[in-house]
A and B are shown apart, each in its own frame.
Chain A
Amino acid sequence: MSVPRSPRVVVLAGGLSHERDVSLRSGRRVAEALRSAGVEVSVHDVDADLVPALSDLRPDLVWPLLHGASGEDGSVRDVVQLLGLRLLGTGPRASRVAWSKPIAKTVVARAGLSTPEFVTLPQSLFRELGAGRVLDAVVARLGLPLVVKPSRGGSALGVNLVTAADDLPRAMVDCFAYSDTALIERAVTGTEVAVSVVDTGDGPVALPAVEIVTEGPYDYDARYNPGRVEYFTPARLSADAASAVGEVAVAAHRALGLERLSRTDLIVGDDGTPWFLEVNVAPGMTETSLLPQAAEGAGHNLGDLYRSLVLASLA
């Protein structure tokens, strides 16, 4: 298929997930940047009008910037492909794998990457086996501190660091408010970094790691209300560690079959080990998000970079 001279792009943003607000902001930022780079773009919510609108518009490309639920679990991507339209980013099948944090961790571990030891426990299991017994076994096996997070979802919603066993039940309740399955992993101390990967046609390339230093937890407020987090781009890592985290992010991107862009969240342990935590197929693109920071840190103009991603997806 030839690349249209002036491609028409539909950005999907909003949706019905807990991260609707973040998605709307991401969508607007990307649309703005693309327009500044001369790309014709419209933003569309995921609602009952979407299918007729896409069938009507027949855009050259659909860029899903939906965070959470149907946006990242592959289902909206499936629909886009069903309509015979092209997608920017990871296809439905790989999205489905990456969207599930435990499955993604298993895949990257098989590819030889380090990821903190974890268990995945659905709410129903606690009901069947008794919560206290299961949690005791978790602490006995993984120790403390632990991180409890919903097996799916982003923006740190429902995520808690647990340092005392007594706090674990409370963290489980928080987590199950967002998802019916919890991922409990051993907390790793070290430098928290996010590595974005982009592929503008020459294969996946890691952007500089962004280091996140937070006063208090890197929670919803810290992420979207500037002030409590200090970002360092590139991260203050040794040259070896910096290239190692880049390699891990690219390796995860490849192992999971991701396309065009992704963001991997890692912790560089005190011994220098890069620990894979999770990957995002629709990384945040808001003014405080990590991928745009990394891209600007690498000297990219965001509009030009996003346009390159569009063109590469159409090539």
Chain B
Amino acid sequence: MTSQPVPPRETSGGHPTSSAAGTRLDPWLTSYAERTHGMRSSEIRALFAVANRPEVVSLAGGMPFLEGLPLDVLGDIAQRVVATRGLQALQYGSGQGDETLREQILDLMRLEGIEAHPDDVVVTTGSQQALDLVTRIFIDPGDVVVAEAPSYVGALGVFRAYQADVAHVPIDADGLVPEALESTLASLAAAGRTVKLLYTVPNFHNPAGVSMSEERRPRVLEIARRYGVLVVEDNPYGLLGFDSEPRDAIRSLDEDGVVYLGSFSKTFAPGYRVGWVVAPHAVREKLVLASESAILCPSNASQIAISTYLSTCDWRGQIKSYREQYRERRDAMISALAEHLPEASWNVPAGGFYTWVRLPDGLDAKDMLPRAVTARVAYVPGTAFYFDGSGSEHLRLSFCYPTPERIREGVRRLAGVVAGEKELVELFGTSAGAASDVVHAPGPDVA
């Protein structure tokens, strides 16, 4: 019950609103849950409204290059799914997900060394929902999630929604640094904090572009196990390496200490919204129950379409073709950065969608964004990838979607923006600000 009912806003006609009571334009303001209070509308999201216009080179979004897909074949599949299996495809289905698809998912995961049973798999609405479910069943307000610094903005949003605290652990070119993980967990334990999850994107990290070395994987796992922390391995990009075979997943080393999240969004198409989670059996049971209470069941139509695609199309060939396209784009981005932005630094990702750029000293990627939008180029400021809004000296550039030519043009524009910002900062003697506003909801553009 609200202690102070707020009168609903008058909508039309009648008498002028009384001046005695103001309105906050939301009669439910006092009803929101505690976790809703910190949500803010950010001008960053508003600026992204422009990023989808064709005039703008968007190096912001993590959108796969769907023009590389056989759309005619997928159209036939969609037609066939409804015409021949419509009564199943358009009906409610299993809360855990289509059994055939779950078996096919096992084939995919074998490429990364994972042996599992179809019963271990829960199909979800994108792996984002899996992340939500895992957080929901484990996190009480104030619990700590340990995550890489930086970390996927969409995961930070979920952790925030469940009122977790996030402790970031540094990464280097070989991914999460085990020694830093150990010391972070030790000091959290000493401070009496409850750490529930270690969230990691081990392959072609979003946003940092790096992968955890094979040597570090068992060490990270061992440390987590010692501190009683469940590892959440988020792996949407693992099959998108440019030069090498996929590394064995952390889950391949341990069935009980790892929850593995997989997705068709980056290796196939995000519009189907199909992902999955593989979890130890007791955890899986709870995930199924939580998923049923959230969505009843994942989309049957999407699952059957993907299952049909996997059984009738050369999906390995498709992934190979994606890898080649993304490699070409990566090369275009890296060479453009070298040409136009030599005073910045970046990593050369061996797969995935992103490179992580460090700006010249004193520049703030978030402050610079309006200028970038004016120059018709978009990126995601580094602040989006830190729980506390730090990271302003970095930005994430995606090379997955624009053509190589557009990528070069985008980087050229970005270089002009950086030069302008540099001049301004030198002029006024300011430098990158402290923690910026936290990005509360990522929006699909930055996923």
The smallest C-beta distance from A170 to any residue of chain B, in angstroms, reads: 5
Pair A16/B19 contact, Cβ less than 8 Å? no
Closest to A23 in B: B49
Pair A299/B16 contact, Cβ less than 8 Å? yes
Residue among A20, A131, A155, A234 facing the most chain B CB atoms (10 A cut-off): A20
Pair B370/A231 contact, Cβ less than 8 Å? no
Bound form: Cα–Cα A19–B50 in Å: 9
Bound form: Cα–Cα A123–B427 in Å: 9
Give the interface size bracket for B toward A. Answer: 35 or more
Which among B368, B373, B429, B430 is the interface contact of A18 at CB below 8 angstroms?
A: B373
The answer, yes or no, to whether B46 is at the interface (CB within 8 Å) is yes
Measured between beta carbons, the chain A residues less than 8 angstroms from B41 are: 220-221, 224-225
The answer, yes or no, to whether A177 is at the interface (CB within 8 Å) is yes
Query: Known contacts A178-B370, A225-B40: does B50 contact A20 (CB below 8 Å)?
Result: yes
A224-267 contact mask (Cβ, 8 Å, vs B): 1 or 0:
11111111111110000000000000000000000000000000
Which among A20, A131, A232, A301 is the interface contact of B13 at CB below 8 angstroms?
A: A301
Query: Known contacts A226-B26, A296-B10: does B16 contact A233 (CB below 8 Å)?
Result: yes
- Considering only CB atoms and an 8 Å cut-off, how many residues of chain A contact the other chain? 53
List, sorted by A's number, 13 A–B pairs whose CB atoms are closer than 8 Å: A17-B50, A18-B370, A18-B374, A127-B427, A173-B428, A173-B430, A220-B42, A220-B43, A225-B39, A229-B24, A231-B22, A297-B10, A299-B14
The smallest C-beta distance from A159 to any residue of chain B, in angstroms, reads: 11
The answer, yes or no, to whether A94 is at the interface (CB within 8 Å) is no
Bound form: Cα–Cα A235–B19 in Å: 7
Query: Known contacts A231-B23, A231-B25, A234-B16: does B367 contact A16 (CB below 8 Å)?
Result: no
Residues of A within 8 A of B (CB): 16-22, 24, 47, 123, 126-127, 131-132, 155, 157-158, 169-170, 172-174, 176-178, 208, 211, 213, 220-221, 224-236, 287-288, 293, 296-302
Measured between beta carbons, the chain A residues less than 8 angstroms from B49 are: 20-21, 24
Bound form: Cα–Cα A122–B351 in Å: 44
The answer, yes or no, to whether B216 is at the interface (CB within 8 Å) is no
Pair A177/B370 contact, Cβ less than 8 Å? yes
Pair A173/B23 contact, Cβ less than 8 Å? no
Measured between beta carbons, the chain B residues less than 8 angstroms from A235 are: 19
Bound form: Cα–Cα A19–B374 in Å: 11
Pair B430/A169 contact, Cβ less than 8 Å? yes
Pair A18/B19 contact, Cβ less than 8 Å? no
List B residues 39-93 near A (Cβ within 8 Å).
Answer: 39-43, 45-47, 49-50, 53-56
Closest to B36 in A: A227
Query: Known contacts A178-B370, A220-B41, A227-B29: does B46 contact A18 (CB below 8 Å)?
Result: yes
Closest to B10 in A: A296
Residues of B within 8 A of A (CB): 9-17, 19, 22-26, 29, 39-43, 45-47, 49-50, 53-56, 367-371, 373-374, 376, 421, 423-425, 427-430, 433
Measured between beta carbons, the chain B residues less than 8 angstroms from A178 are: 370-371, 374
Pair B22/A211 contact, Cβ less than 8 Å? yes
Bound form: Cα–Cα A231–B25 in Å: 8
The smallest C-beta distance from A192 to any residue of chain B, in angstroms, reads: 13
Closest to A168 in B: B428
Measured between beta carbons, the chain B residues less than 8 angstroms from A213 are: 22
Pair A236/B50 contact, Cβ less than 8 Å? no
Measured between beta carbons, the chain A residues less than 8 angstroms from B368 are: 177
Bound form: Cα–Cα A301–B12 in Å: 5
Bound form: Cα–Cα A302–B12 in Å: 7
Bound form: Cα–Cα A208–B17 in Å: 10
Pair B46/A126 contact, Cβ less than 8 Å? no
Measured between beta carbons, the chain A residues less than 8 angstroms from B427 are: 123, 126-127, 131
The smallest C-beta distance from B363 to any residue of chain A, in angstroms, reads: 10
Which among B14, B42, B425 is the interface contact of A173 at CB below 8 angstroms?
A: B425
Pair A287/B12 contact, Cβ less than 8 Å? no
Residue among B10, B22, B376 facing the most chain A CB atoms (10 A cut-off): B22
Measured between beta carbons, the chain A residues less than 8 angstroms from B15 are: 299
